[in-house]
Structure 1
Amino acid sequence: MAGKAGKKQAQTNLAVLSRLYQVSLPIVALAILKQFYLGEGFGALLRFALLHVPMIGCIYVLDKSGRPHFDSKGKLLREGSDLSQTGGLTEYLFDLVYLSLFGDFGKILFSTNKLWYVLLLVPVYAGWKLYGLKNQFMQKQQQQQQQQQQAPQPEAEARSKRQQKREKRGDRPHVKYR
């Protein structure tokens, strides 16, 4: 039973990576064929390559972090990061890959690179998320400053009768020694 979760995660990661390659490779291959079919020249080929840099980088990071490692006997050494998680960097990397494939669909179906403008939304979205984090942090900081300013200063009125009596007595000894 030991390592069952790790083995399950390794199998899930392999399935996710396999599905990623099965979806992305044919679409990119068709886009490359369409690029050569249109014969727009070296500039268009260079632009095509530059537009695919984010997708290639994301696939590389997903593969390196999520691919499980086995020893020569087939024993699992490292299961890799969970590629099926939601709400993290992994999800954003998959989103970048899918947006790039969306741009390739535009190239295949409509013979245009204009659908690649969707990738411009990525920095806008990242800025929006960072702005939200900044506001959240700043609000906490402002609340702490307000609490410190509004905190009541210890005054004589706020002290109990017992504390007042002790201060009145001062340093006088409490017990009489013989």
Structure 2
Amino acid sequence: MAGKSSKKQAQSNLLVLRNLYLASIPVVLLASTRQWISRRDLVSWIRFILLHLPLLGCIYVLDSSGRPKYDSKNKLVREGLDLSQSGGLTEYMFDVVYLSLFGDLGHVLFNTKKFWYSLILVPIYAAWKVYGLMPSLPTTKSRDGDEQRQKPAQSKRQAKLAKRQDKVQVKYR
């Protein structure tokens, strides 16, 4: 029973990856066919490849980190990262994939690349998330401010002892 949750996560990851490939492969093939029909020059193909680099990179990372590993006896060795989690980098990568597929569908259906401008939302969303985290990040302040804060925290007795230690201990004849 100890490996039951690992097996469930492995099955869930396989299902998520299967759905990801079922959604992305046909759309990318349609977009590349549309690209081949409409324009055959090198510059448009370079642009097409550059626009698909984030999609391919995210799919590669999701597949390599989420695919379960099995040994030769078909026993689960590693279940992979949980691809069905909400929040975090995994969800961000799925957003990049879906926005890229949205750009491809716009290109296929309407023969325009203006839908690819939706990928601009990705860095804007990332900047907004980082801006939201700014108040929770620790701030660095000067040492003088830290010392001033520590002095009032002393009790009266500690203040007296510190004052005595600051006095000159040696008396000259």
Q: Same fold (TM over 0.5)?
A: yes
Aligned match of 2:111: 111
Residue 88 of structure 1 deviates from its aligned partner by 1.0
Q: CA deviation at 1:120?
A: 1.3
Distance 1:102 1:33 in 2: 16
Single out whichever of 39-48 and 57-66 deviates more from structure 2. Answer: 39-48
What per-residue deviation string (whole Å, max 9, x for no partner) do you get for residues 40-95 of structure 1? 52211110110000000000000000000111111001110000001111000100
* Number of the residue aligned with 1:53: 53
Counting aligned pairs with the same residue, the percent is: 56
C-alpha distance in structure 2 between counterparts of 1:74 and 1:8, whole Å: 15
Number of paired residues? 159
After TM superposition, which residue ranges in structure 1, 4 or more long, deviate above 6 angstroms? Answer: 145-148
Specify the alignment match of 1:73 in structure 2. 73
The aligned amino acid for 2:10 is: A
**In the alignment, which residue of structure 2 is the partner of 1:94?**
94
CA distance in 1, matches of 2:116, 2:19: 23
The residue type equivalent to 1:56 in the other structure is L
Report the secondary structure of 1:56's partner residue: helix
Q: Match for residue 14 of structure 1?
A: 14
User: Could you say which structure has the larger radius of gyration?
Assistant: 1
Which residue of the partner structure matches residue 35 of structure 1?
Answer: 35
Q: Which residue of 2 aligns with 1:120?
A: 120
- Match for 1:114: what amino acid? K
Q: How does 1:125-164 map to 2 (within 5 A)?
A: 125-137=125-137, 149=148, 152=152, 154=154, 158=156
Structure 2 residue identity aligned to 1:15: L
Q: How far is 1:121 from its partner?
A: 1.7
Residues 128, 148 of structure 1: alpha-carbon distance in 2 compared, 3 angstrom cutoff? farther
After TM superposition, the score normalised by the length of structure 2 is 0.81
Distance 1:148 1:94 in 2: 47
Q: 1 CA distance for matches of 2:153 and 2:18? A: 65
Q: TM-score, normalised by structure 1?
A: 0.79
| C-alpha separation in 1, matches of 2:118 and 2:40 | 22
Specify the code of the residue in structure 1 equivalent to 2:116. Answer: W
Measure, in 1, the Cα distance between the counterparts of 2:100 and 2:33.
16
2:54 maps to amino acid: P
In structure 2, relative to structure 1, the CA distance for the partners of 1:153 and 1:11 (3 Å cut) is: closer
Aligned amino acid, residue 35 of structure 2: Q
User: Which amino acid in 1 is paired with 2:4?
Assistant: K
Residue type of the partner of 2:26? P
Instruction: Please provide the CA RMSD for this pair.
Output: 2.5
**Amino acid across the alignment from 2:28:** V
Which structure 2 segments of 5+ residues have no match? 165-173
